[in-house]
């Protein structure tokens, strides 16, 4: 399996430092507003990566943080007259609801910055003790000149970093020993929330939280650290500096950054006011369609949000769902057996083994989900072809297992797909028998060539959200979207 590592700008063979354990950290949101599609993209990207690593047999310890103290939090809470804690709770709930809707599995650890202030303070003291940090007027700064490797991740020339630092100097400039230095602890300003510390009342800088949480929860050297591409500099650069200065060990082995969601080719962001919240999108499209949309581009590439593309994804989702429900109907009671049995690769029919191989090859290639989707659709066509021709149960069982293996990695597991109306081919005894009654009536009409009446029945049921589909083997129905 090869992964593109931002640190080396190369595809590298992925080998965890302590197999089968994989430690993985992703930078989560600052919880001052509702999650938008950009957040969803990042979350889904790392969810798929995590699922695939687990599919490959790794034991993934995954952490994703919430930034619940920073300038925007303080600003927003102040405007609304609530505390940052109240603000955080509201938006953490929204974020978690959005993640659940998209079937993004909860991380093993979901730390909040403000819950680890004590750890941050001791982390900063370690940096001070080692001479990498210095205090001025109640704030503490990281001394970039002391850390040789600074700029390695973002490949930024030191001069440029210094220029950037100088521009920022109106806030800390007088105190900073070098323009490149950055705050790891900020002295309290009037009205701001603050914690006691050896340097007086204050709050942590943004970058320190991820270093501390990652180190504390996952260890001094982790396997994978991820986040949006916009975090490379300065956030991740600073994380590396702090962490490695303190531990003397590599902070992270593989850096993975996801591309942005764009709207009309421009980055979706709050400042451009061109964003759509996850809730807004969920009102228009079923969540699995959104998931498929989000994996329709490779995670590093930009993906353009448009009605057209969401519409295409919605059609893809229908195709996936119909293949699944069709398979379940054909397998009947044998579906349970197919579900519980492990995939026996050697026993798979060659064409299905080939699609599974192709799926894995695609995912092994830096999580190439578009290529993986091609394998998924090939699998679906193979299954449908079998269904059309009336193949053996053994073939269908194998098809079911391969399909579920692929869908599981993409985050469309059965329990999730079953949440959506179109997936239901039955709805409890009474409804089932009621619909069956109308189908029988219609069949009688059809046999009598009374197609007018047959179509009326179908239209009436459709109006009630029940869709009939005729086939050689009789009429089936489902709840319409």
Partner RNA sequence: GUCGGGGUCGCUUAGUGGCCGAGCGUCAGACUGCAGAUCUGAACCAAGUGGGUUCAAUUCCCACCCCCGGCUCCA
Q: Which of residues 346-365 bind RNA (CB under 7 A)?
A: 362, 365
We find the least distance from the C-beta atom of residue 346 to RNA, in angstroms, to be 25
- Strand 10-13, strand 133-136: pairing: unpaired
Under the binding rule (CB under 7 A), the answer on residue 446 touching RNA is yes
Under the binding rule (CB under 7 A), the answer on residue 78 touching RNA is no
Residue of 56, 76, 136, 300 interacting with RNA (CB under 7 A): 300
CB closer to RNA, 267 vs 339: 267
Q: Please state, in angstroms and rounded to a whole number, the distance separating the CA atoms of residues 299 and 366.
A: 9
CB closer to RNA, 304 vs 413: 304
Under the binding rule (CB under 7 A), the answer on residue 454 touching RNA is yes
CB closer to RNA, 43 vs 217: 43
We find the least distance from the C-beta atom of residue 194 to RNA, in angstroms, to be 19
List of residues 6+ apart from 347 with CB closer than 8 A: 398
Window contacting RNA (CB under 7 A); options: 116-124, 341-349, 382-390, 417-425: 382-390
Under the binding rule (CB under 7 A), the answer on residue 236 touching RNA is no
Under the binding rule (CB under 7 A), the answer on residue 465 touching RNA is no
Under the binding rule (CB under 7 A), the answer on residue 210 touching RNA is no
430, with CB counted inside 10 A (0-12, 13-18, 19+), is: exposed
Site for RNA in 302-341 (CB under 7 A): 302-304, 308-309, 311-312, 315-316, 319, 322, 326
CB closer to RNA, 161 vs 213: 161
Closest CA to 213 of 32, 46, 62: 62
CB closer to RNA, 374 vs 427: 374
Window contacting RNA (CB under 7 A); options: 14-22, 159-167, 341-349, 429-437: 159-167
CB closer to RNA, 57 vs 332: 332
We find the least distance from the C-beta atom of residue 209 to RNA, in angstroms, to be 10
Under the binding rule (CB under 7 A), the answer on residue 422 touching RNA is no
CA distances from 383 to 134, 366, 472 (A): 65, 27, 18
CB closer to RNA, 287 vs 313: 313
Under the binding rule (CB under 7 A), the answer on residue 168 touching RNA is yes
């Amino acid at each position: 399996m090869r992964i593109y590592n931002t640190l080396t700008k190369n595809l590298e063979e992925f080998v965890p430092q302590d197999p089968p354990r994989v430690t993985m950290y992703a930078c989560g949101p600052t919880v001052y507003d509702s999650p938008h599609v950009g957040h969803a993209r990042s979350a889904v990207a790392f969810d798929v990566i995590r699922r695939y690593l687990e599919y490959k047999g790794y034991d993934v310890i995954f952490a994703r943080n919430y930034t619940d103290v920073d300038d925007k939090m303080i600003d927003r809470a102040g405007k609304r007259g609530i505390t940052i804690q109240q603000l955080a709770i509201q938006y953490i709930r929204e974020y978690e609801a959005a993640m659940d809707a998209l079937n993004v599995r909860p991380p093993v650890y979901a730390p909040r910055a403000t819950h680890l202030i004590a750890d941050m303070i001791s982390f900063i003291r370690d940096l001070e003790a080692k001479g990498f940090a210095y205090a001025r007027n109640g704030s503490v700064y990281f001394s970039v000149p002391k850390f040789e490797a600074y700029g390695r991740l973002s490949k930024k020339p030191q001069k440029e970093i210094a220029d950037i630092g100088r521009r920022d100097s109106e806030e800390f400039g007088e105190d900073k020993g070098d323009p490149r230095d950055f705050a790891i602890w900020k002295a309290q300003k009037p009205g701001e929330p603050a914690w006691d510390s050896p340097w007086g009342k204050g709050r942590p800088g943004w970058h320190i939280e991820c270093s501390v949480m990652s180190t504390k929860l996952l260890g001094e050297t982790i396997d994978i650290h991820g986040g949006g591409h916009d975090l490379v500099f300065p956030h991740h650069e600073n994380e590396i500096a702090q962490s490695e200065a303190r531990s003397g060990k590599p902070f992270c082995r593989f850096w993975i950054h996801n591309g942005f969601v764009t709207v009309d080719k421009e980055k979706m962001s709050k400042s451009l006011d061109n964003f759509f919240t996850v809730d807004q999108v969920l009102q228009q499209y079923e969540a699995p369609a959104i998931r498929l949309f989000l994996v329709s581009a490779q995670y590093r590439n930009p993906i353009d949000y448009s009605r057209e593309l969401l519409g295409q994804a919605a059609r893809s989702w229908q195709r996936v769902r119909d293949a699944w429900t069709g398979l379940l109907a054909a397998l009947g009671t044998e579906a349970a057996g197919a579900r519980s049995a492990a995939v026996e690769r050697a026993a798979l029919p060659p064409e299905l083994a080939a699609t599974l191989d192709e799926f894995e090859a695609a995912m092994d290639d830096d999580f190439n989900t578009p290529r993986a989707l091609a394998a998924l659709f090939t699998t679906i066509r193979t299954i449908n072809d079998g269904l059309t021709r009336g193949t053996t149960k053994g073939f269908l069982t194998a098809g079911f297992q391969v399909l579920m293996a692929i869908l599981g990695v993409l985050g469309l597991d059965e329990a999730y797909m079953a949440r959506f109306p179109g997936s239901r081919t039955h709805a409890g005894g009474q409804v089932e028998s009621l619909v069956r009654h109308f189908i029988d009536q219609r069949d009688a009409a059809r046999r009598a060539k009374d197609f007018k009446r047959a179509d009326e029945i179908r239209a009436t049921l459709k109006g009630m959200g029940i869709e009939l589909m005729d086939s050689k083997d009789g009429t089936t129905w489902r709840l319409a979207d």
